[in-house]
Amino acid sequence: MAGHHSLCILHPSLGFLLCFILIHSSLAAINEPTELVDKVCNQTSNYTFCLESLYSDSRTPDADPYTLAFISFGLAYTNASNTRDFIAELLKNTSSQDDRHHLKRCGHDYQKAVSALEEAYDDLNSETFFELAKLAGHASKASDHCQAAFKGTSSPPLARRNHDLKSLCEIGAIIAKLFTGSS
Ligand SMILES: *[C@@H]1O[C@H](CO)[C@@H](O)[C@H](O)[C@H]1NC(C)=O
Ligand SMILES: *[C@@H]1O[C@H](CO)[C@@H](O)[C@H](O)[C@H]1NC(C)=O
Ligand SMILES: *[C@@H]1O[C@H](CO)[C@@H](O)[C@H](O)[C@H]1NC(C)=O
Ligand SMILES: *[C@@H]1O[C@H](CO)[C@@H](O)[C@H](O)[C@H]1NC(C)=O
């Protein structure tokens, strides 16, 4: 994704022209988000998280709404399936019955999230947009339900992951609305 342009300035005391080649790295891109990304991320609860997440994909600087939808639902899907697998690993190491009970509930939640996001991905592939926001909502609710399982626990083990999935689903739902026109 590296493009470049040059910048020349006249150095006042040396009296000559200094030219720099500016490389547009992904860091430059994130500081100058596209109008589309800016519009989407501006509607989320965490603009920085939204930018960082979307720009973790090299297609984002050139993405149209359709590509951006694939990117956001892809990120949410990867997040959910990583966490589902992580929960299965945690269960292998956990002997406390209470913790096992909570983790099993979360495993179930994350399986639901993965299924919803898979369905969203299939919908995108067939250019079917009307259920995308609802499916993102299902996945988001699953993360809430998992988080609630550890209510009252001093360091809930999946808090960060639940929060990340919720935030990614929020981005997906906002992009989905670009297609259905409701906002
Ligand atoms: C960003 O959001 C704020 C309020 O949430 C709004 O006032 C502003 O117009 C928005 N900017 C863009 C570029 O959408
Ligand atoms: C927003 O997201 C950024 C990047 O992920 C994070 O560092 C920051 O703590 C988040 N802010 C809030 C209020 O959650
Ligand atoms: C989930 O997504 C966030 C934002 O893109 C990322 O920072 C985090 O590492 C991901 N977590 C997992 C477990 O994939
Ligand atoms: C489970 O325990 C093994 C051995 O102690 C450790 O290597 C692994 O990181 C643990 N997995 C998780 C998810 O905590």
Query: Over the stretch 137-152, which tens digit does the pLDDT of each residue have?
Result: 999 999 999 999 999 9
- Asked if residue 45 has its Cβ within 6 Å of ligand 1, the reply is no
Residue 157 lies in domain: 34-180
- Pick the residue whose CA is nearest to atom 5 on ligand 4: 93
CA distances 95 to 90, 91, 92, 108, 147, Å, are: 10, 8, 8, 18, 20
User: What spacing in Å lies between the alpha carbon of 76 and ligand 3's midpoint?
Assistant: 8
Strand locations in 2-108, DSSP E?
3-10, 17-24
Judge whether residue 51 has pLDDT over 80: yes
- The pLDDT assigned to 82 comes to 98
What do you get for the CA distance between the two ends of the chain, in Å?
32
CA distances 1 to 14, 57, 62, 67, Å, are: 35, 10, 9, 16
CATH number at residue 71: 1.20.140.40
Q: Which atom of ligand 1 is nearest to the CA of 35?
A: 13
In this structure, the answer to whether residues 4 and 48 fall within a common structural domain is no
In this structure, the answer to whether residues 68 and 97 fall within a common structural domain is yes
In this structure, the answer to whether residues 17 and 96 fall within a common structural domain is no
- Pick the residue whose CA is nearest to atom 9 on ligand 3: 79
In this structure, the answer to whether residues 124 and 139 fall within a common structural domain is yes
- The pLDDT assigned to 151 comes to 93
158, amino acid identity: L
In this structure, the answer to whether residues 79 and 93 fall within a common structural domain is yes
In this structure, the answer to whether residues 63 and 136 fall within a common structural domain is yes
In this structure, the answer to whether residues 27 and 104 fall within a common structural domain is no
In this structure, the answer to whether residues 78 and 163 fall within a common structural domain is yes
- Pick the residue whose CA is nearest to atom 3 on ligand 1: 42
Under 8 Å between Cβ of 52 and 58: no
Number of domains in the chain: 2
